[in-house]
Amino acid sequence: MEKTYIFGHKNPDTDSITSSLVMANLETKLGRNVESCALGTPNKETEYVLNYLGIEAPRVLGENEVPDGSNVILVDHNNPEETISNIDKVNVLKVVDHHCLKLSTSYPLYYRAEPVGCTETVMYKLYKENGVEIDKKNATLMLSAIISDTLLFKSPTCTPEDVEIAKELSKIAGIDCESYGLEMLKAGTDLSSFTIDEILSLDAKQVSLKDVKTVINQVNTASIPDVMELKEKLEAGMTEQIESKGLDLFMLLITDIVNSNSQVIALGKRADLVEKSYGVKLENNTALLKGVVSRKKQVIPVMTENA
Amino acid sequence: MEKTYIFGHKNPDTDSITSSLVMANLETKLGRNVESCALGTPNKETEYVLNYLGIEAPRVLGENEVPDGSNVILVDHNNPEETISNIDKVNVLKVVDHHCLKLSTSYPLYYRAEPVGCTETVMYKLYKENGVEIDKKNATLMLSAIISDTLLFKSPTCTPEDVEIAKELSKIAGIDCESYGLEMLKAGTDLSSFTIDEILSLDAKQVSLKDVKTVINQVNTASIPDVMELKEKLEAGMTEQIESKGLDLFMLLITDIVNSNSQVIALGKRADLVEKSYGVKLENNTALLKGVVSRKKQVIPVMTENA
């Protein structure tokens, strides 16, 4: 049986890495030949999770490492801009996701997306539907991703189903959500070892807001002023990317995971879009977006509407 | 609670009509305010099913009858070309389908598609997952659609899951698949009351095979020669549509549901695509495509590859 590659999106977050591992476990249990892979190395938050469990990160797939014609399963994404470059030349067997629809295919496939906070919430249901037991390791992986994506249940993307399933998972994992979750989220805010360029690509998504070519980068922190100390250097790096990628807008969201606000730095000829979308005035390219923590729910749709 | 409209594709077939009814029953049982609708009247095969059960067809939605901003659930389709014209201005809450992916959204939604022969096969699983009992009426609706879409399990689109679930449903419905199914399929082949234009729109799909603008129309029959008696008139109608719609190709598949072959009539400047795709020579615009019964599996992908 030919091997199927399972992977999440580029610049993988905790949901992408853990969903790849958890999906691979499910498929293996169901007798299929799969490999858990990733389109990048784990971030510090995900490293915290993998270290906690003492397990290895999925193998990172290099450019063009998935041959044309291969079978693949996508988790936590479906957008062609966020996946392997030859996505239109492979056979997508399945998608398990919680994002908007962007993929187009000429063949039917298994597609399972739900408007919940985290792919792992859907994955939990797949285990139940297939009658596959969720062990402590997989429960910890799922729970970590739900905490990550919902910022400990405080993001507007969080649904009652995410909370309920997280509660179930915390019992299996023997984990206290609050203390474990805060430690995990804080691990992800440590920027000390990164260069400016690395910070700017940690969780960057390139999206088209109608015809406005945009990169939206999000950095979690427990202290906005700490990150703002790097403002000038960050702006220089953003300007470089705007030029090299021909962007209309680069938004850096510095998200305070404790108080649930984001400081935005916006550069590019369409920075006015931020002002228009949130009714704020950018001063020195920056403004506080009160209550904004979710790129998916509070940034992309709002900005698209105003573009 | 605002009403949600549930409907299948334009030119509805048995799967589209029954899935709308069956999904509406499920959503109602789960406490939601929905209405089963349709984007056209039932064909003769579907009429046979509704008469058998003594139930009404879903209400047909007129052009622009679904207001912008409404909540909708799509069944048995997701292609914007096959649905309401303001699909990008409504809120698609859910999709339950078994076709390739064509819809694009700027918001997450519940999307459930599986590469099986019929939407109702997926619907059966949704009932099970939600712990909702399948009564005799809904079992008959589901079973009828599976028989229709798989041509009594003979189409290459038919999967072991379709067969297994149909078996379960036939027990609940108290129906013998073979005898009921053949009667139902035959009811759908009665063309006596239709004008040529009506025959040409009974089950027509407009698709782009790469850049080849094509209409593929399929008519089921128990006797190819009976339909071929109308050849000249059908060709005149096809030529008219090619001109009025600016088509590159119009394919009429006359599918023998007993022997599982299709006679094709192909007109338009890209009729060569049929010859190239199937290694046949069109004589007087027609050829026999042996073993070809599935537009989805044996026509659209093959023609796309050769376009």
Instruction: Give me the CATH number covering residue A203.
Output: 3.10.310.20
DSSP label of B100: B
Residues B218 and B179 in one domain: no
Contact between chains at A101 and B98 (C-beta distance less than 8 A): no
For residue B170, what pLDDT is reported?
98
- Which of B155, B187, B219 lies at the terminal end of a domain, its last residue? B187
Nearest to A110 among B106, B113, B301 (CB): B113
Residues A175 and A218 in one domain: no
What are the chain B neighbours of A105 within 8 Å (beta carbons)? 100-101
- Which of B147, B168, B187 lies at the terminal end of a domain, its last residue? B187
Q: Is the pLDDT of residue B1 over 80?
A: no
Q: Is the pLDDT of residue A291 over 90?
A: yes
Sheet holding B249-256, edge to edge: B204-209, B212-221, B249-256, B261-267, B286-289
Residues 105-134 (B) with a CB less than 8 A from some CB of A: 105-115, 125, 129
Buried b (16+ CB within 10 A) or exposed e, B159-185: bebbeebbeebbebbebebeebbbebb
Residue B172 half-sphere exposure, CB side, CA atoms within 13 Å?
18
Contact between chains at A109 and B104 (C-beta distance less than 8 A): no
Calculate how close chain B gets to A295, using CA atoms only, in Å. Answer: 12
Share of residues in chain B with pLDDT > 90 (%): 89
**What is the C-alpha separation between B49 and B56, in angstroms, rounded?**
10
Token couple for B234: 């059908």
Residues B77 and B217 in one domain: no
Cβ-contact A234, A263 below 8 angstroms: no
pTM (2 decimals)?
A: 0.87
The nearest alpha carbon in chain B to A113 belongs to B111
Q: Is the pLDDT of residue B46 over 90?
A: yes
Residues A11 and A134 in one domain: yes
Long-range contact set of residues A51-57: C-beta below 8 Å, sequence gap at least 24: A52/A140, A52/A180, A52/A184, A53/A137, A53/A140, A53/A141, A55/A21, A55/A137, A57/A17
- pLDDT tens digits for B229-254? 999 999 999 999 999 999 999 999 99
Q: Would you call A87 an interface residue with chain B, using a CB distance cutoff of 8 Å? A: no
CATH classification of the domain holding A95: 3.90.1640.10
Residues B91 and B71 in one domain: yes
- pLDDT tens digits for A233-246? 999 999 999 999 99
Residues 284-303 (B) with a CB less than 8 A from some CB of A: 296, 300-301
Nearest 5°: the CA angle A127, A118, B92 is: 100
Cβ-contact A83, A72 below 8 angstroms: no
Sheet holding B91-97, edge to edge: A59-60, A34-38, A4-7, A71-75, A91-97, A110-113, B110-113, B91-97, B71-75, B4-7, B34-38, B59-60
Q: Is the pLDDT of residue A38 over 80?
A: yes
Residues B225 and B171 in one domain: no
- Distances A151 to A14, A113, A186, B140 between C-alpha atoms, Å: 12, 20, 11, 46
Contact between chains at A113 and B109 (C-beta distance less than 8 A): yes
Calculate how close chain A gets to B222, using CA atoms only, in Å. Answer: 28
Run of H or E residues at B131 = none
Residue B58 half-sphere exposure, CB side, CA atoms within 13 Å?
33
**What is the C-alpha separation between B109 and A229, in angstroms, rounded?**
39
DSSP label of B283: B
- pLDDT tens digits for B154-192? 999 999 999 999 999 999 999 999 999 999 999 988 888
Question: For residue A64, how far is the Cα from the chain centroid?
Answer: 22
Q: Would you call A103 an interface residue with chain B, using a CB distance cutoff of 8 Å? A: yes
Share of residues in chain A with pLDDT > 90 (%): 89
Cβ-contact B94, B72 below 8 angstroms: no
Q: Which of A73, A101, A114, A305 to mutate to test the interface with B (most CBs of B within 10 A)?
A: A101
- Which of B187, B205, B221 lies at the terminal end of a domain, its last residue? B187
What are the chain A neighbours of B98 within 8 Å (beta carbons)? 108
What is the rounded average pLDDT of the residues A161-183? 97
Calculate Rg over the CA atoms of chain B: 19
Q: Give the total number of structural domains in chain A.
A: 2
Token couple for B147: 């028989």
**Number of residues that this document lists for chain B:** 307
**What is the C-alpha separation between B158 and A111, in angstroms, rounded?**
18
For residue A2, what pLDDT is reported?
87
Residues A74 and A156 in one domain: yes
- pLDDT tens digits for A109-160? 999 999 999 999 999 999 999 999 999 999 999 999 999 999 999 999 999 9
Per-residue confidence band for A203, with pLDDT thresholds at 50, 70 and 90: confident
The strand pairing partners of B252, in sequence order, are: B217, B265
Residues A41 and A171 in one domain: yes
What are the chain A neighbours of B210 within 8 Å (beta carbons)? none
Specify the 3-state DSSP secondary structure of B255: strand
Residues A136 and A221 in one domain: no
Residues A156 and A221 in one domain: no
**What is the C-alpha separation between A227 and B94, in angstroms, rounded?**
40
Q: Which domain holds residue B201?
A: 196-306
Instruction: Give the largest Cα separation in chain B, rounded.
Output: 59
Calculate how close chain A gets to B79, using CA atoms only, in Å. Answer: 10
Residues B166 and B58 in one domain: yes
Q: How far apart are the first and last CA of chain B?
A: 48
For residue B106, what pLDDT is reported?
86
Type of residue at A143? L
Run of H or E residues at A98 = none
- Distances B87 to B15, B79, B201 between C-alpha atoms, Å: 20, 10, 22
Cβ-contact A200, A234 below 8 angstroms: yes
Q: Which of A91, A107, A125, A216 to mutate to test the interface with B (most CBs of B within 10 A)?
A: A107
Residues A168 and A207 in one domain: no
**What is the C-alpha separation between A203 and A15, in angstroms, rounded?**
12
What are the chain B neighbours of A115 within 8 Å (beta carbons)? 107-110
Nearest 5°: the CA angle A129, B5, A79 is: 55
What is the rounded average pLDDT of the residues A81-102? 96
**What is the C-alpha separation between B26 and A91, in angstroms, rounded?**
32
